[in-house]
Amino acid sequence: RMPGSIPEADRRHRASAAFSLSFLSLVFSITAFSSSHWCEGTRKVAKPFCKGDSKGDLCIRFNSPDGNNSQAVQYIWETGDDKFVERNFHAGIWYSCEEMINEDGERCRSFISLTPASDRGVLWLSIVTELLYVVLLLIGNILMSVEIFYYSSVIDGLKINAFSAVVTVLAGLLGMVAHMMYTTVFQMTVNLGPEDWRPHTWDYGWSYGLAWTSFACCMAAAVTTINKYTKTILEFKHKRKKLERSFRIQYNFPDH
């Protein structure tokens, strides 16, 4: 090994670091893509009428002893905000779920059906871009694993390294665009979506943070891969200069 060259162990270490970051990015992206916690918050839901002997703060009470009699005059005591109850909800790319009143469990609806018709095309484009992001991450992981565990020469590894760097950078760009498009679609749905869905308060959930963490890991893997490629190229140039200098010295001062 010539002075200044990168040892094989260091190259393996950098390749393993890039593969680990890319694998984490793939796991995070699949988890976020399949979950429904990109956005979380509360909705104001009108309380149902109390039935039978049911009492409490989750239904509207009457002063009539016979609440089921439609002929009787019924007075509702709740006014203003007392007529509403806040229910938690969470939404993702595929569906939106909210707590049910006086019942256990959640009621889920397709988020695509809640999106305004004018923004539905952008949502589908976001979904397709997210799928391409996951596919490219998977291809990048396969290339990096091949580079680590199976290549016959440094030149072959360098070629695979170049392909994996391009694929990972492209995946990161697609992931960034997909996340931004979904953010825009969700904000438009909050303003223009159906009345029985619009949230009272909302914020981004853990899936949204996980999606951007996946993007950060993807770009870190791309930077590590490009850095490894650049250092390997510089090593080859350094070796070539050393070899040329050695030949030049031998030509100028031949052995007698």
How sure is the predictor about 174, in pLDDT bands with cuts at 50, 70 and 90? Answer: very high
pLDDT in tens, 16-39: 888 999 999 999 999 999 999 999
- CATH node for 9-35+116-233: 1.20.140
12 contacts: CB under 8 Å, gap ≥ 6: 148
192, 154 Cβ separation under 8 angstroms: no
Average pLDDT over residues 233-249: 65
Spans of all domains in the chain: 9-35+116-233
In 10 A of CB 216, how many CB atoms? 15
In the predicted model, what is the mean pLDDT of the chain?
79
How far apart CA 201 and CA 195 sit, in angstroms, is: 14
pLDDT in tens, 139-168: 999 998 887 877 656 676 778 888 888 999
How far apart CA 214 and CA 222 sit, in angstroms, is: 12
Residue 252 or residue 230, greater confidence: 230
